[in-house]
Structure 1
Amino acid sequence: NLSQKIFVRNYFDDVVRPYIIPLMIEKLPELPYLRDKSLYLAIVMRSRQNAYHEKFALIEIPSRSIGRFVILPSSKGTKAIILLEDIIKFNLPIIFSHFKFNHFDAHVFKITKDAEIDLDQEVGLNFVEKISKGVKNRRKGKPVRFVYDKDMNAELLDYLIQKLHLTRKSSIIPGGHIHNFRHFMDFPDVLVEKQERPSPFPHPAFRNKTQVSEVILKKDVMLHFPYHNFDPVIDMLREAAMDDDVLSIKITAYRLASNSKVINALINAARNGKEVTVFLELKARFDEEANLEWKNIMEEEGVKVLVGIPNVKVHAKICVIQKKVQNKLVQYGFISTGNLNEKTARIYADHCLLTANKALLMEVNKVFNYLSHWQLGDKPIEKTKHLLISPISMRNSIIHLINEEIKYAKQGHPSHIIVKLNSLSDHILLDHLYKAIKAGVKVNLIIRGILTLKEGMEKSKNPINAISIVDQYLEHARVMIFHNKGKEKVYISSADWMVRNLDHRIEVAVPILDEKIKRELIDIINIQLKDNQKARILDTDLNNNYVPSLRAKKVKSQVETYHYLIGKK
């Protein structure tokens, strides 16, 4: 209507126009640098009086600076939303007014560039130099994926394919109009009142502001993010930085916050004379540049930074702090499923075990010893009794645990395996799960991302029960539970069941030895298995239907988990 047209015109002039930089492309032999995963508007302009007079242009849609979704003025009882690109389309006659065109055809597209960093090239460069050069070369990466509006006319599509030098090997995909689904994170709340996420609360062990090390040296503590706040992790490192009795800190880092409190605490520890060693993974995908910068900052402050192993990613989340207590050396630290990132800890659901268990930390130190000495070639990761470590023992250990459940099932004992992961695609482990199911083992899977199933497996006599939970928090934790004749074996892990994690990464899974924590974790997983509001059934038909709400009680697992944990004493 007229009021909406006036709004769109004014919004363009006041908000959008300063960001619009049209690029005339018909005379260019090839397109200039286009940003990876940015949205672009491809435009062909014509005159109705002269169909052969046409020009082509590109406009980057400024969705990084301006919200993608704009609320329009609407009549009472209705809500109208317009896309940012549609505002630009509406104003194309103004943008290109000096050309005197009166017909505009405009469609959105985006490209994804080759982001691989080839560490085998440039043999004259060291590892850090290769990563640094690879990050810079991404700007010149070739497009490997081209997604466009499916109603884009053939002439404009062919023109873009030619200009982008796309080949048949490239993925050329007709899509809808949104393309970047992450923009839905900022979709305006127009239909319901905005639901604020509840604030993280302190773990009961730290409600009295007790020193973290004092608590951990007495008992294990499990933090469940984002329900519990991340403060104890930061506080543990800050306390260690100031504690005269602390001698050293060893820690791994994969993805860090932009103004990382973790790094600040480690730098302060180094300034205070502690021996601080950070195993920083430079190959963390799309965080390479940030991690290179953190490396330089920490090294300038006296932190010893080790930067990973070529062709193997260090994805384990581990830390060991050594201190002197009454002339004795003691250790405490953590093993986690998630990154040391205080920002993502507010939206990623993860588990972090704070512990001073001597047996566990002795084995964590074996991982650190390997990371410190791998270049010498004479320090393989030693065998461990408790930790499952990839690529050394994790796959075989998981197979052994599955086979134990198969044995118990054949003996007539109740047997059950519950696995919660981001992704499960390792065919060797999947085959062992299928064997377990055929032997009568009950198998429940909670998989947020990739799941590779044999066709019809979920419909067989002994079905595999697989769900995915997608709610306001991202389910990032990895948990394995084996019934073990009623004496459950429970692990938290940094690793998904994928070839890359099990064969090409340093990963750590830790058994939960404290019975109270073990029961708490089992309770949380059982709450998730009862979810009938945000859980979907994963099947080979890819229907992904919601779990039917057959129970009288509606169970939204993230809400139930919050209430379960906040009620703990």
Structure 2
Amino acid sequence: MKNLIPRDISWLSFNGRVLQEANDATVPLKERIRFLGIFSNNMDEFFRVRVATLRRMIELGGKKGNMHLEEKPQQILDQIQSIVLQQQSEFTRIWEGILQELKKEKIFLIDEKHLNKEQKAYVKKFFDEEVRSNIIPLMIESLQQLPYLREKSIYLGVVMHKKESAYDRKYALIEIPSRIVGRFVQLPASKDGHFIILLEDVIRYNLPYIFSYFGYDHFSAHVFKVTKDAELDIDNDITTSFVQKIQSGLKNRRKGKPVRFVYDKEMDAGLLEYMMKRLNLSRKDNIIPGGRIHNYRHFMDFPDVFNSKNTRRAPITHPALQRSLRVTDVIMEQDVMLHFPYQSFNSVIDLLREAAIDPNVTTIKLTAYRLASNSKVINALVNAVRNGKEVVVMLELRARFDEENNLEWKEKLEEEGVKVLLGIPEMKVHAKLCVIKKRIGTKTIQYGFVSTGNLNEKTAKVYGDHCLLTSNRNIMADINRIFKYIEDPKHNAIHLRACKTLLVCPTDMRKKLMQHINMEIKHAKARKPAAIIAKVNSLSDIPFINKLYEAAEAGVEIKLLVRGIFCAMIEQKKFKGRLQAISIVDEYLEHARVMIFHNNGKEKMYISSADWMVRNLDHRVEAAVPITDEGIRQELKEIIHIQLRDNVKARILDNALSNNYVPSAGKKKVRSQIETYHYLFNKMQKAGEVSSN
């Protein structure tokens, strides 16, 4: 479309920014390797979802079905293939450089061909004790049907023959059991440094033992992986329960069509052709040659053998919560905004734990999208049920790639007596909400929170989010309305439309935000100050983009912070310089959504769970909460302005997707994530000084 960047091309540009972090020599080596893992994991999900979706669009041939069709899906796929190959080449170059840096720190990633006598003995013993029982070699030529290839696994394609008869070849597949054994095997400590071998190389070394029965004496083995269509097709069969549909969809995901085949470019040509034929792939598909190693996503958990110490800063406690034994008591007196990961998520856990044992609390209701594997949130809720509270959890079963985890949480919660709500057909519940009710005499008191991020204590250590803890009556009334709707969406839609304080999707958030932008346009045309600051993960909604174009042309100063997808083209003559956008990719994942409208000096400020995308605004239950406390407003504005001043980790989002860093020449360097921590830490110290006086 004219004046728009295709969302998938923009997303690849975002993943290019992740790759830039892996290439940055100022980033600690362990973190650089982690960024390679993040890049790889991102790319896997991109192919599983977006490339698969584009292929479906081509198959539909213009018939929309339930899809928001791109105008030229084949052209976009061709662009994707070109960009991915370029990024893969850059990835390989960066990894080779990192290997040299590892050697300088005496960390050696070695393969089966470079083991000394002691290491060979260790690898053989490790294989016998830890690996052998977890692998099942498959002689694929004798199988009528290729076995199911796991989505997130890597495989060794093995070619065997005897020296005297190189043409008599046999093929075999071995799944690398990294989920069970782990991907990295640390070899015995040595004065020469740390030696690490990958699990697939342990298996490579032991191929003669694995296939000794056949009498072959020559083996070659190369890694490959298959990426499949991961979209869940949830049909509208009203006779099937929602849970059964999810379970069926997960089973069907196993049968998803391959959308990418990544392989070691040294793989035997005959085996490659054989695999492509059995997988129904052609050269037109995403057949991507690469190096010896695949599934770098495991490198997010590379062994901590580094000389440098962890520089990550420990979360601090919010100043208002330092002065009280109970979070609840503070929330009853004032609003508190937590800024993760700079401030501790433990305050949220403490709030739920206090409610679980408070004899006056009668009810806890919250929404859950992605939960930690050993969730303290769930533990608090289970404790609440055991203490006689009514607990209601809206558990979104369709949280992508967390479906199986959430099905397991559903069973556990229901076993404990928690009432589990399972969402709404054709719509995800993405809002992050909690309401707690307590009865004191004849009076009911309500408090809780609205957050931009998931109730997940693990990701709260690395995701940048905001969470408003409040007992504001109007906010609590709207949260109750949203829960009434979720509990019976067919009959209670009126409650969603009745929300007065929160902006809610899919009913009125789009409309209200458009009204705010229109008001800025009106002020700009009247030659009054007009400005918009917005921070989102993604901006791809076409009506919003066009409205921002209109606002910039009218004279509204617009500053955007967008981490990921950004489909707007900011370099246009009709509003040159008035629409600016940057993306910050750094140690923490920028995940918060914040909107600030100048409103002729009477600023309107919100935090939200919703991105400016069609799926969020029209097909999800989302919430944006206004920030009214003056202290919090000032603090949030200062944090946003620190980010807007970033000239170390901020990239300019231009039309060419060049990912150029914001220039810092002649200016004080501002790395916003470091500055934000210092800003909040200093506020905590000052508050401590005041309270001690």
TM-score (norm 1): 0.90
**Deviations 1:442-477 (Å, cap 9, x if unpaired)?**
222222222213385599723643222222222111
More strand by percentage: 1
1:9 corresponds in structure 2 to 120
Change beyond 3 A, Cα 1:278–1:443: same
Structure 1 residue 61 corresponds to structure 2 residue 176: yes
Determine which of 365, 368, 373 is the counterpart of 1:253: 368
1:447 corresponds in structure 2 to 562
> Bigger CA drift: 460-469 or 480-489?
460-469
Tell me the amino acid that sits aligned with residue 393 of structure 1: D
Q: Is the 8 A contact 1:426 1:498 kept in 2?
A: yes
Q: Is the 8 A contact 1:45 1:103 kept in 2?
A: yes
- 1:335 aligned counterpart, secondary structure: strand
Identity of aligned residues (%): 60
Determine which of 387, 390, 393 is the counterpart of 2:508: 393
1:29 corresponds in structure 2 to 144
Change beyond 3 A, Cα 1:411–1:85: farther
More helix by percentage: 2
Q: Is the 8 A contact 1:418 1:482 kept in 2?
A: yes
2:131 corresponds in structure 1 to 19
2:630 corresponds in structure 1 to 515
How far residue 84 of structure 1 moved from its aligned partner, in angstroms, is 4.6
Change beyond 3 A, Cα 1:437–1:66: farther
- Quick one: distance in 1 between partners of 2:582 and 2:397? 33
- Quick one: distance in 2 between partners of 1:440 and 1:374? 42
How is 1:235-274 mapped onto 2 (pairs within 5 angstroms)? 235-274=350-389
Q: Is the 8 A contact 1:255 1:340 kept in 2?
A: yes
Structure 1 residue 49 corresponds to structure 2 residue 164: yes
Q: Is the 8 A contact 1:419 1:479 kept in 2?
A: yes
Q: Is the 8 A contact 2:530 2:599 kept in 1?
A: yes
2:592 corresponds in structure 1 to 477
Tell me the amino acid that sits aligned with residue 546 of structure 1: Y
- 1:496 aligned counterpart, secondary structure: coil
Q: Is the 8 A contact 2:570 2:580 kept in 1?
A: no
Determine which of 142, 146, 155 is the counterpart of 1:40: 155
How far residue 102 of structure 1 moved from its aligned partner, in angstroms, is 5.2
**Structural RMSD (CA):** 3.1
- Quick one: distance in 2 between partners of 1:182 and 1:147? 14
Tell me the amino acid that sits aligned with residue 549 of structure 1: S
Determine which of 427, 451, 459 is the counterpart of 1:344: 459
> Bigger CA drift: 81-90 or 410-419?
81-90
Tell me the amino acid that sits aligned with residue 9 of structure 1: K
Q: Is the 8 A contact 2:556 2:578 kept in 1?
A: no
Change beyond 3 A, Cα 1:554–1:117: same
How far residue 386 of structure 1 moved from its aligned partner, in angstroms, is 2.6
- 2:143 aligned counterpart, secondary structure: coil
- 1:340 aligned counterpart, secondary structure: coil
Tell me the amino acid that sits aligned with residue 32 of structure 1: P
> Bigger CA drift: 52-61 or 181-190?
181-190
- Quick one: distance in 2 between partners of 1:11 and 1:60? 22
How far residue 288 of structure 1 moved from its aligned partner, in angstroms, is 1.9
1:428 corresponds in structure 2 to 543
Determine which of 226, 230, 243 is the counterpart of 1:115: 230
Tell me the amino acid that sits aligned with residue 608 of structure 2: S
**Deviations 1:288-327 (Å, cap 9, x if unpaired)?**
2222222222223222211111110001000111122453
Q: Is the 8 A contact 1:350 1:476 kept in 2?
A: yes
- 2:496 aligned counterpart, secondary structure: coil
> Bigger CA drift: 1-10 or 545-554?
1-10
How far residue 150 of structure 1 moved from its aligned partner, in angstroms, is 4.3
1:419 corresponds in structure 2 to 534
How is 1:19-418 mapped onto 2 (pairs within 5 angstroms)? 19=131, 21=135, 22-65=137-180, 68=183, 83-86=198-201, 88-89=203-204, 92-93=207-208, 95-96=210-211, 99=214, 101=216, 103-120=218-235, 122-166=237-281, 171-187=286-302, 193-325=308-440, 327-376=442-491, 379=494, 381-418=496-533
2:606 corresponds in structure 1 to 491
Tell me the amino acid that sits aligned with residue 443 of structure 1: I
- Quick one: distance in 2 between partners of 1:455 and 1:562? 30
- 2:329 aligned counterpart, secondary structure: helix
How far residue 518 of structure 1 moved from its aligned partner, in angstroms, is 1.0
Determine which of 543, 558, 564 is the counterpart of 2:673: 558
- Quick one: distance in 2 between partners of 1:76 and 1:538? 48
- 1:381 aligned counterpart, secondary structure: helix
How far residue 429 of structure 1 moved from its aligned partner, in angstroms, is 0.8
Tell me the amino acid that sits aligned with residue 225 of structure 1: F
> Bigger CA drift: 68-77 or 9-18?
68-77
Q: Is the 8 A contact 2:560 2:580 kept in 1?
A: yes
Tell me the amino acid that sits aligned with residue 455 of structure 2: L
Determine which of 658, 661, 666 is the counterpart of 1:543: 658
> Bigger CA drift: 56-65 or 147-156?
147-156
Q: Is the 8 A contact 2:520 2:599 kept in 1?
A: yes
Tell me the amino acid that sits aligned with residue 50 of structure 1: S
How far residue 254 of structure 1 moved from its aligned partner, in angstroms, is 1.1
How far residue 506 of structure 1 moved from its aligned partner, in angstroms, is 0.2
**Deviations 1:82-114 (Å, cap 9, x if unpaired)?**
655455445545554554545544332212233
Tell me the amino acid that sits aligned with residue 158 of structure 2: I
- 2:490 aligned counterpart, secondary structure: helix
- Quick one: distance in 2 between partners of 1:295 and 1:264? 13
- 1:289 aligned counterpart, secondary structure: helix
- Quick one: distance in 1 between partners of 2:499 and 2:159? 64
Unaligned stretches of 5+ residues in structure 1: none
Tell me the amino acid that sits aligned with residue 544 of structure 1: N
Tell me the amino acid that sits aligned with residue 427 of structure 2: V
How far residue 199 of structure 1 moved from its aligned partner, in angstroms, is 1.7
How far residue 197 of structure 1 moved from its aligned partner, in angstroms, is 1.8
Tell me the amino acid that sits aligned with residue 295 of structure 2: N
- 1:291 aligned counterpart, secondary structure: helix
- 1:567 aligned counterpart, secondary structure: helix
Q: Is the 8 A contact 2:208 2:217 kept in 1?
A: yes
- Quick one: distance in 2 between partners of 1:403 and 1:345? 35
- 2:144 aligned counterpart, secondary structure: coil
- 1:374 aligned counterpart, secondary structure: coil
Name the count of aligned residue pairs. 569
Tell me the amino acid that sits aligned with residue 186 of structure 1: D
| Larger relative contact order, structure 1 or 2 (CA cutoff 8 Å, min sep 6) | 2
Tell me the amino acid that sits aligned with residue 13 of structure 1: K
Change beyond 3 A, Cα 1:409–1:378: closer
> Bigger CA drift: 381-390 or 425-434?
381-390
Q: Is the 8 A contact 2:345 2:460 kept in 1?
A: yes
Tell me the amino acid that sits aligned with residue 124 of structure 2: D
Tell me the amino acid that sits aligned with residue 454 of structure 1: M
Change beyond 3 A, Cα 1:271–1:86: closer
- Quick one: distance in 1 between partners of 2:298 and 2:384? 39
**Deviations 1:167-212 (Å, cap 9, x if unpaired)?**
6896444445554342332345677613242221211111134212
Tell me the amino acid that sits aligned with residue 234 of structure 2: L
1:467 corresponds in structure 2 to 582
How far residue 562 of structure 1 moved from its aligned partner, in angstroms, is 1.2
Change beyond 3 A, Cα 1:549–1:80: farther
How far residue 152 of structure 1 moved from its aligned partner, in angstroms, is 3.9
Change beyond 3 A, Cα 1:531–1:325: same
- 1:162 aligned counterpart, secondary structure: helix
Tell me the amino acid that sits aligned with residue 461 of structure 1: K
Q: Is the 8 A contact 1:458 1:464 kept in 2?
A: no
How far residue 11 of structure 1 moved from its aligned partner, in angstroms, is 5.0
